Structure 1
Amino acid sequence: MADTKQKPHALLFPYPLQGHVIPFVHLATKLALNGFTITFVNTESIHQQISKAAGLDLGATGDGDADIFSEARKSGLDIRYATITDGFPLGFDRSLHHDQFFEGILHVFPAYVDDFVGYLVRSDPTINCFIADTFFVWTSMIASKYNLVNISFFTEPALVLTLYYHIDLLRQNGHFATADNRSDAIDYIPGVKSITPTDLMSYLQETDNISTTVHQILYKAFHDVKKGDFIIINTVQELEEETISCIQKKQPIYAIGPIFPPGFTKSCISTSLWAESDCTPWLDTKPHDSVLYVSFGSYAHTSKHEIDEIANGLLLSGVNFIWVLRPDIVSSDESDILPVGFEESVKGRGRIVSWCFQIAVISHPAIGGFLTHCGWNSILESIWCCVPLLCYPLLTDQFTNRKLVVDDFNVGINLCDDKKYVNREEVSEKINRLMKGKSSEEIREQVKKVKKVLEDAMEKNGSSERNFLQLIEDLKARIVKKKGFVIKENGKIK
């Protein structure tokens, strides 16, 4: 018989990519701070990368006393940690072999998850809800099989969610998956006034090549999410009011973003997949708002030619910069991707690192702009730090996020407008427009206004905080209904 006095115990399952793991970690902390027991599950590959990057000896599987949440537990948070294989050897390069990896995630990984969740639930019957990334295709099946409340966590904006949610409408209207997709504006998606096809996620800009593994994942995941009990989304109600309201007519959805670590720059939980360079001493030598931060995220790739044009654009611009240049940004086999003599030419005003703690960099007063791939985490962090954005999307939701930044929030500018490729003169001109002059001042004022929206949402009576508390109440009620026991709150029977 189930314990009638247990508290909510959530099993958290992030997608095995850096940009998804980070908000899941912050969500785990936020729930634990509000009385939840958390069991957090990383893949063994992600666990190994984080451990190696942080220089931590966390054991082979993360089931010992030491793991990424060790310090959080010392502060009294009830967060357990587990790891699961994704079906590939630890040495397999998942980024380089993207298609093969996602084939495994679609066809092989679900069986491992099924066995693993069954083992966890049998070992700990107090687990009563399942919070999984929206891009997983098996969430409703697992939740139903083990009688868990089904919660989908979407780590991207509501605009992206609703476009995927209505993928069939795009197909029926000829804007997606035809031999010759329509190029006119899309004005029939509920909660979206209008969007151009070039602002759709990259996977929805495809023509008739829609049988790829990624497309299969999208179809199945966004069919599956419609079976969820609740959807959590890392955005702010006031920023995407109409879009969120339309989805809420179909399913309970809670905008609780931005989900940041307590203290923002002081998280004690390691989430980085690479060793981080300390850029603070270098930044301390630079004037306020004088440094451009350049980073294209943890996963997407670009060409050597485009890296060359960006490098020469930085050279022509004359601005100070920090450039995060992953070793695999072009390919794991490519070396010397920068122009010959580039690093010597920018010595003193430019610093190139393979990775850094991004929040610590963009929150530094010397940072005056961010040339970004438009990952959603990066956008929210930049707005919070009042840093204007120069947008260079590469993959998936980044094109749609750019629309929000440039057209809706007005906190950034496009790097290459409607052209497909960048050139050095345009890079230089756009950098200077972002960093200096009247247009720069206007964008900075607008970023401050949008930051105020984020701040207000996170206040005690703000929308994100209200939505979060409502989620907790609704979740508790659903647990009681599904599991048939009473939730303990503050040591008393409720």
Structure 2
Amino acid sequence: MSIPHILFVPYPAQGHVMPMMELAQKIAEHGLRVTFVNSDFVHNQIMSTLSKKNDFGDGIHLVSISDGLEPGEDRKDLGKLTAAMHKFMPGKLQEVIEKINRAEDDGKISCVVADISIGCAFEIADKLKIKAVAFCPAAAAQMAVFFSLPKLLEDGIIENDGNVTKKQMIHLSPTMPPLNTETFVWACFSDLATRKAMFELFAIGSKYMKLAKWILCNSAYELESAAFTSFPEMLPIGPLSASNKLGDKQGSFWPEDSACLSWLDQQPACSVIYIAHGSFTIFDQIQFQELALGLELTNRPFLWVVRPDMTDETSDIYPKGFKERIGSRGKMVSWTPQVKVLRHPSIACFLSHCGWNSTVEGVSNGVPFLCWPYFADQFFNQTYICDVWKVGLRCDKNENGIISKDEVKSKVEQLLGDNNFKERAMNLKEKVVNAVSRDGCSNKNLSNFIEYLK
């Protein structure tokens, strides 16, 4: 009897690749064959960060295809990247599947697991008579937007091109938290071409979702009971990182600075502010320096992830004399092993962009949040953190659109001066850990899915 062979297809962005790779590893651990398809650019990024070529373990084979852009083009221009993918990806993906199936008599692709935004993968799987499964790396609430697109159009909340007719708060279901129409994933892009390309991505994904046999979500019922109850087609199987005992995550686009863990070892328990804004956030120089000065004003130790491309400045980006004044109290690194950092006993709070991976990683470790969303689903995740779970506070902008140094200092003091935030965070952690434990809902769903694949 042949071993099932599963093909994984993520959207080519850090926050999509990593959770899907976690799912792929869990499936490979059960003896199934896995082929993971990245874009050439993402594949090269990941391979350059590995210490050895077989870091992905047995059973996972990495392949890559073109994303349609030239080597030097900007992959952070999501409109351009998405438009190129629409054009080039379907043909390339079909070629990969057909090549594998020609070469393998008893190892043909038996199932395609694709990101919810890669609608062409479901279409190709259907065309080649292969089972298809959808994976949502974001909150179930974002998946609910997929399911709600026809009604949003029918009710005139959005137009055919995704344009939001007016700013308003809406409920996708009576029990779900309100959603600001201006924070739809595609609507937050000011560039019209990008907005249109991102909406098309959603619309195509929504259209082909009915071809998926399973719709899996990297979330837990305990985190989003209203969304999962309102849209029972979705099955929670996460947070996948919460069941990762070692805290090792594969698929990082940047080399991780593990030396920061030794620095954390030297800090008192629950003392360190951890600051990380994900892989996309860009700061102008004024905002970057206000954040730096705010961290200085807290008089607390801090670990700050500062990517090389985080600002447009090429000269020294820090305020004059900042590094000398903070000395060893602050540590700036280009990237961290984030799950290990958030599990460290010295971490007091997480100043975060509220990407879903960062959100569930913080929640899974009982860490309170300071929220600083940048774009897309991050604003709704902030709603969960501050209004639903009540484990964090918003950082508010002033009249000039800047989060000031005094605001940073004030919110750190407010968050860490109220033990209720930590208490609620620890209670939520317990629920999430139970969800991925042996008898938990997420773990049972994942086990059932693996049995289905077998």
Decide: shared fold, TM above 0.5.
yes
Decide whether aligned partners of structure 1 residues 47 and 207 sit closer, same or farther in structure 2, where only a CA change above 3 A counts.
closer
Aligned 8 A contact 1:175 1:183 in 2: no
Decide whether aligned partners of structure 1 residues 126 and 111 sit closer, same or farther in structure 2, where only a CA change above 3 A counts.
closer
Match in the other structure for 2:225: 241
Deviation (angstroms), 1:196:
4.1
**CA separation in 2, counterparts of 1:169 and 1:234?**
25
Report the aligned-residue RMSD: 2.5
Match in the other structure for 2:43: 47
Match in the other structure for 2:5: 9
Deviation (angstroms), 1:215:
1.9
**CA separation in 2, counterparts of 1:146 and 1:180?**
37
Match in the other structure for 1:190: 173
Decide whether aligned partners of structure 1 residues 341 and 170 sit closer, same or farther in structure 2, where only a CA change above 3 A counts.
farther
Aligned 8 A contact 2:100 2:108 in 1: no
**CA separation in 2, counterparts of 1:91 and 1:68?**
27
Correspondence list, 1:63-102, <5 A = 66-69=53-56, 72-73=57-58, 78-95=59-76, 97-102=77-82
Deviation (angstroms), 1:157:
0.8
**CA separation in 2, counterparts of 1:79 and 1:212?**
35
Match in the other structure for 1:107: 87
**CA separation in 1, counterparts of 2:280 and 2:371?**
16
Corresponding residue to 1:204 among 142, 163, 187: 187
Decide whether aligned partners of structure 1 residues 11 and 395 sit closer, same or farther in structure 2, where only a CA change above 3 A counts.
same
**CA separation in 2, counterparts of 1:282 and 1:129?**
44
Q: Deviations over 1:76-126 (max 9, x none)?
A: xx222222222334444422x443222212222222112222212222353
**CA separation in 2, counterparts of 1:165 and 1:273?**
31
Aligned 8 A contact 1:67 1:81 in 2: no
Aligned 8 A contact 1:313 1:424 in 2: yes
Aligned 8 A contact 1:159 1:192 in 2: no
Decide whether aligned partners of structure 1 residues 183 and 337 sit closer, same or farther in structure 2, where only a CA change above 3 A counts.
same
Letter in 2 for 1:142: I
User: Is residue 402 of structure 2 the alignment partner of residue 421 of structure 1?
Assistant: yes
**CA separation in 2, counterparts of 1:79 and 1:354?**
28
Match in the other structure for 2:324: 344
Letter in 2 for 1:314: L
Decide whether aligned partners of structure 1 residues 206 and 43 sit closer, same or farther in structure 2, where only a CA change above 3 A counts.
closer
Decide whether aligned partners of structure 1 residues 379 and 418 sit closer, same or farther in structure 2, where only a CA change above 3 A counts.
farther
Aligned 8 A contact 2:303 2:331 in 1: yes
Aligned 8 A contact 1:176 1:205 in 2: no
Decide whether aligned partners of structure 1 residues 206 and 29 sit closer, same or farther in structure 2, where only a CA change above 3 A counts.
closer
Report the secondary structure of 2:134's partner residue.
strand
Deviation (angstroms), 1:358:
1.1
TM-score, structure 2 normalization: 0.91
Q: Deviations over 1:170-201 (max 9, x none)?
A: 344444459874444313x2364441416833
Corresponding residue to 1:468 among 423, 446, 449: 446
Aligned 8 A contact 1:135 1:217 in 2: yes
**CA separation in 2, counterparts of 1:405 and 1:229?**
31
- Where in structure 2 are there 5+ consecutive unaligned residues? none
Corresponding residue to 1:23 among 9, 19, 23: 19
**CA separation in 1, counterparts of 2:80 and 2:166?**
31
**CA separation in 2, counterparts of 1:349 and 1:164?**
45
Match in the other structure for 1:479: none
Aligned 8 A contact 2:274 2:303 in 1: yes
Higher mean C-alpha deviation, range 33-42 or range 277-286: 33-42
Deviation (angstroms), 1:273:
1.2
**CA separation in 1, counterparts of 2:50 and 2:31?**
28
Correspondence list, 1:147-186, <5 A = 147-177=129-159, 181-186=165-170
Decide whether aligned partners of structure 1 residues 180 and 25 sit closer, same or farther in structure 2, where only a CA change above 3 A counts.
closer
Correspondence list, 1:13-412, <5 A = 13-56=9-52, 66-69=53-56, 72-73=57-58, 78-95=59-76, 97-124=77-104, 125-177=107-159, 181-187=165-171, 189-190=172-173, 192-197=175-180, 200-204=183-187, 209=192, 212-248=196-232, 251=233, 253-260=234-241, 263-267=244-248, 270-277=250-257, 278-331=259-312, 334-412=314-392
Aligned 8 A contact 1:410 1:443 in 2: yes
Deviation (angstroms), 1:418:
9.7
TM-score, structure 1 normalization: 0.84
Q: Deviations over 1:333-384 (max 9, x none)?
A: 6443322222222112111111111122121111111100001111111122
User: Is residue 427 of structure 2 the alignment partner of residue 449 of structure 1?
Assistant: yes
Decide whether aligned partners of structure 1 residues 270 and 90 sit closer, same or farther in structure 2, where only a CA change above 3 A counts.
farther
Higher mean C-alpha deviation, range 159-168 or range 401-410: 159-168
**CA separation in 1, counterparts of 2:287 and 2:190?**
25
Higher mean C-alpha deviation, range 364-373 or range 269-278: 269-278
Deviation (angstroms), 1:446:
0.4
Decide whether aligned partners of structure 1 residues 285 and 393 sit closer, same or farther in structure 2, where only a CA change above 3 A counts.
same
Aligned 8 A contact 1:175 1:197 in 2: no
Identity of aligned residues (%): 29
Deviation (angstroms), 1:404:
1.0
Aligned 8 A contact 1:302 1:394 in 2: no
Count of matched residue positions in the alignment of Structure 1 and Structure 2: 447
Report the secondary structure of 2:382's partner residue.
helix
Higher mean C-alpha deviation, range 106-115 or range 230-239: 106-115
Report the secondary structure of 1:147's partner residue.
coil
**CA separation in 1, counterparts of 2:190 and 2:326?**
42
- Where in structure 1 are there 5+ consecutive unaligned residues? 57-65, 477-486, 488-494
**CA separation in 2, counterparts of 1:234 and 1:19?**
11
Aligned 8 A contact 1:155 1:233 in 2: yes
Corresponding residue to 2:411 among 430, 435, 439: 430
Report the secondary structure of 1:292's partner residue.
strand
Deviation (angstroms), 1:207:
9.2
Letter in 2 for 1:85: S
**CA separation in 2, counterparts of 1:91 and 1:127?**
33
Higher mean C-alpha deviation, range 408-417 or range 205-214: 205-214
Letter in 2 for 1:131: V
